[in-house]
Amino acid sequence: MHLRPPLNWINDPNGLVFHDGNYHVFFQYNPYGPRHSNVHWGHYRSPDLINWEPLPVALAPTPGGYDADGCFSGNAVSDDGRMVAFYSAHRTDRWWQPVTTAESYDGGITWAKRPELLIPEPPADTTMYRDPYVWQQDGRWRMLVGSALADNRAAAQLYESDDLEHWEYRGPFHVSDAAADSGPVGWECPQYAPLGDSGVLIISDWTPQGGPSHTTVHTGREQDGRFTATAAPVPLDHGPDFYAPALLKAPGEDRWLLWGWAWEARDDAWAHEAGWAGTLTLPREVTLAADGTVVQRPARELLALRGERVLHRTGHVTQSGAAELGQVSRTFDLTAVLTPDTTGTSGLRLVTAADDAEHLDISLDPTTGRLTVDRSHASLDARARGGSYAVPCPAATTGTPVELRVIVDRSIAEVYLGDGRVLTLRFYPLAEGPWRLQARTTGTGRSDFTVEAWDLTPGGIRQ
Ligand code: FRU
C-alpha cells in the first residue's frame, strides 16, 4: 500500500508526473543495500493511485560521468509525448549538485541523459545547490532549485524557459527571513503549487549539523518571479519522520497530490537486519482553506483500498476509564469523532501486545490544546526511537468534537485532523498481537467517541 521496494534504501519521492494515462512516482533508491549511497531513481506507475506496478530503475549514476556518485532529487514533466526528468547530478568532488535532464519516449522505461549538464554552475554566493522542480505557469516553464546563500540564509532560486532547454536565471524566488543562528540552513526540494490567487511553497530544511530536519509550508502570492509570504511558515507535517515531500498536479483538475519520504525511526543496525529502510507516505491532496490555511487529506482514491469494516462503535469513557473497541489488522484505515474530556487527556490507544505492554497513544490534551501521538511504549525493542509528538488542536481545550482519520500500515501511522493538519510517524511493534483499539481518558469527566475502522487491502503493489 505504501510505495517502497521490498528491500534496500529509499528516500525522497522524485519525478512525480501524470503521463500517458498513468501516475509516475520515482524515488531515491539504492539498489545495493539499506543505506544512503549510490542513489538511483526507482520507478512505480499506476493508472489510479491504487494499483502500482514496479518498473525498472529509471536513472542510474554513470561511472565517470557528471552524476557518477548519484542521481539526486528532482522532478519530471510530460511534454509533447516525452517525459523529461530534471535531477541533481551528484559527484563527491564538488559541493553543489548541478541540474541536468534525461528524456524518455517510452513512458519512463528507457532514458537518454543530456550529454552535458543543463545548469552546470550555481548562481554566485551560493553554498548549497540542488533539487530542481519544474512546472508550467502562464505559458512558460519555471524551475526552482534549492540552495543556501553565503550570508547563511536559504533560498529557492528561480529560472524560466520557453522550451525546457534554454533557462534564464531570474534570481531568488523566495529567501528565508534571517540567517540561522545555528549556522547555514539550506532549502532542499522546493516545491510550488499555484492555488487560485495564491501559491504554496513547500520547503525541506536542511542543516549541515543535523542533516535533514523538517518541512515547512509557506503560503503567499507570486508576482513577477518573486514570492511574498502572506502568513508565517508552518510545519507541513507535525510528525518526526516526514521529509522531502513532492507535488504532482492531478490531470485535468485543480488538484495537487503530495507524497513524502517517511524515514526509519529504528537504528541503522536494525534497518540493516531488516534489509530495507524508508517508505513513501500515501498520497495526500493539498488545498487551501478559505482562510488561507493549507489543508491535507488522504487522496480520495484511497477509499477504494477499504476492505471489510472491522469495527463501528459509539460510546463514552469516564473516570480514567478505558473501553475495548475491538480488533484491527496491521493495515487499517480509521475515522473517529472524539468529544474530548476537558478534565484530562482522552483519545485512542492502539494496543499491539496481548498484555498491553506495547501501545501507541493518540490523545487530546485540554491543557495544551494539542493532539499528541506518543510512541514511547510502541515497541518492545529499545532500538526504536520513542517520544511524543503533537499537533495543534484547539478543540481539545474547548471540548468540541474532533474528527480524526488515522491510516496505519504496519510501521507507519498517518494521523489527520479534520481541519487538514497531519502528523506522520514510524513505530515498530514487536509483539504477536492481535492488534486492538481502546478508547481511554485520564480525566474525571466524560469523553464520547464514534470510531469506525476498515481493513485495508494490503496489495495494490504488484511485486
Ligand atoms: C533530501 C535530499 C536531497 C537530495 C537527496 C539525495 O532528502 O538530501 O536534497 O537531492 O536527498 O538523496
CATH number at residue 255: 2.115.10.20
The CA distance from 43 to 90, in Å, is 19
The CA distance from 230 to 220, in Å, is 5
SS3 content of the chain, % helix, strand, coil (to 5): 5, 55, 40
Strands of the sheet containing 22-30, edge to edge, are 53-59, 40-46, 22-30, 8-19, 276-277
Chain mean pLDDT for the chain: 94
Q: Does ligand 1 have an atom closer than 6 angstroms to the CB of 72?
A: yes
**88 CA: nearest ligand 1 atom:** 10
**74 CA: nearest ligand 1 atom:** 10
Q: What is the mean pLDDT of residues 300-315?
A: 96
Q: Do both 89 and 159 map to the same domain?
A: yes
**243 CA: nearest ligand 1 atom:** 7
Is 352 inside any structural domain?
yes
Q: Does ligand 1 have an atom closer than 6 angstroms to the CB of 215?
A: no
Is 353 inside any structural domain?
yes
**204 CA: nearest ligand 1 atom:** 1
Q: Do both 77 and 175 map to the same domain?
A: yes
Q: Does ligand 1 have an atom closer than 6 angstroms to the CB of 130?
A: yes
What is the pLDDT at residue 17? 98
Q: Do both 334 and 276 map to the same domain?
A: no
Last residue of a domain, one of 249, 276, 301: 301
The CA distance from 279 to 296, in Å, is 19
Total domain count for the chain?
2
Q: Do both 285 and 348 map to the same domain?
A: no
The CA distance from 361 to 160, in Å, is 48
Question: pLDDT at residue 213 above 80?
Answer: no
The pLDDT-based confidence of 211 (bands split at 50, 70, 90) is low
398: CATH: 2.60.120.560
The boundaries of the domain holding residue 115 are 8-301
Strand ranges (DSSP E) for 319-434? Answer: 322-328, 331-339, 346-351, 359-365, 370-374, 388-392, 402-409, 412-417, 422-426
Strand ranges (DSSP E) for 341-401? Answer: 346-351, 359-365, 370-374, 388-392
Q: Does ligand 1 have an atom closer than 6 angstroms to the CB of 12?
A: yes
Q: Is 451 exposed, middle or buried (0-12, 13-18, 19+ CB in 10 A)?
A: buried
Of 133-137, 205-209, 310-314, 335-339, the poorest mean pLDDT is in 205-209
Q: Do both 228 and 130 map to the same domain?
A: yes
What is the pLDDT at residue 432? 87
Q: What is the mean pLDDT of residues 275-284?
A: 98
Q: Do both 179 and 250 map to the same domain?
A: yes
Q: Do both 183 and 208 map to the same domain?
A: yes
The owner of cell 520515482 is: 26
Last residue of a domain, one of 240, 267, 301: 301
Question: With contact defined as beta carbons under 8 Å apart, do 49 and 282 qualify?
Answer: no
pTM of the model: 0.96
The pLDDT-based confidence of 342 (bands split at 50, 70, 90) is very high
- Spatial CA neighbour of 377 closest among 424, 431, 432, 449: 431
- The alpha carbon of 30 and the centre of ligand 1 are apart by a number of angstroms equal to 13
Nearest CA to ligand 1 atom 12: 72
- Distance between start and end Cα atoms, the chain: 11
178 against 100, higher pLDDT: 100
Q: Cα 400 vs. chain centroid, distance in angstroms?
A: 29
What is the pLDDT at residue 82? 98
The CA distance from 395 to 421, in Å, is 13
Is 344 inside any structural domain?
yes
- The alpha carbon of 73 and the centre of ligand 1 are apart by a number of angstroms equal to 6
Q: Does ligand 1 have an atom closer than 6 angstroms to the CB of 30?
A: no
- The alpha carbon of 212 and the centre of ligand 1 are apart by a number of angstroms equal to 8
The pLDDT-based confidence of 180 (bands split at 50, 70, 90) is low
Is 158 inside any structural domain?
yes
The pLDDT-based confidence of 214 (bands split at 50, 70, 90) is confident
Question: pLDDT at residue 461 above 80?
Answer: no
Q: Do both 267 and 284 map to the same domain?
A: yes
Question: pLDDT at residue 60 above 70?
Answer: yes
Q: Do both 204 and 329 map to the same domain?
A: no
Question: pLDDT at residue 38 above 70?
Answer: yes
Phi/psi zone of residue 39: left (φ > 0), alpha (ψ -120 to 50 degrees), beta? beta
Q: Do both 289 and 438 map to the same domain?
A: no
Q: Do both 20 and 101 map to the same domain?
A: yes
Q: Does ligand 1 have an atom closer than 6 angstroms to the CB of 365?
A: no
Question: With contact defined as beta carbons under 8 Å apart, do 422 and 392 qualify?
Answer: no
- The alpha carbon of 367 and the centre of ligand 1 are apart by a number of angstroms equal to 38
Q: What are the tens digits of pLDDT across the range 414-440?
A: 999 999 999 999 999 998 889 999 999
Is 226 inside any structural domain?
yes
Q: What are the tens digits of pLDDT across the range 70-100?
A: 999 999 999 999 999 999 999 999 999 999 9
The CA distance from 81 to 397, in Å, is 54
Q: What is the mean pLDDT of residues 188-211?
A: 87
Is 140 inside any structural domain?
yes
Is 463 inside any structural domain?
no
**131 CA: nearest ligand 1 atom:** 10
The pLDDT-based confidence of 212 (bands split at 50, 70, 90) is low
- Spatial CA neighbour of 289 closest among 407, 422, 424, 198: 198
The CA distance from 156 to 133, in Å, is 10
Strand pairing class (8-19; 276-277): parallel
Question: pLDDT at residue 208 above 90?
Answer: no
Q: Do both 290 and 306 map to the same domain?
A: no
Percent of the chain scoring above 90 in pLDDT = 91
**261 CA: nearest ligand 1 atom:** 7
Is 461 inside any structural domain?
no
Nearest CA to ligand 1 atom 9: 188
- The alpha carbon of 90 and the centre of ligand 1 are apart by a number of angstroms equal to 10
Last residue of a domain, one of 301, 329, 362: 301
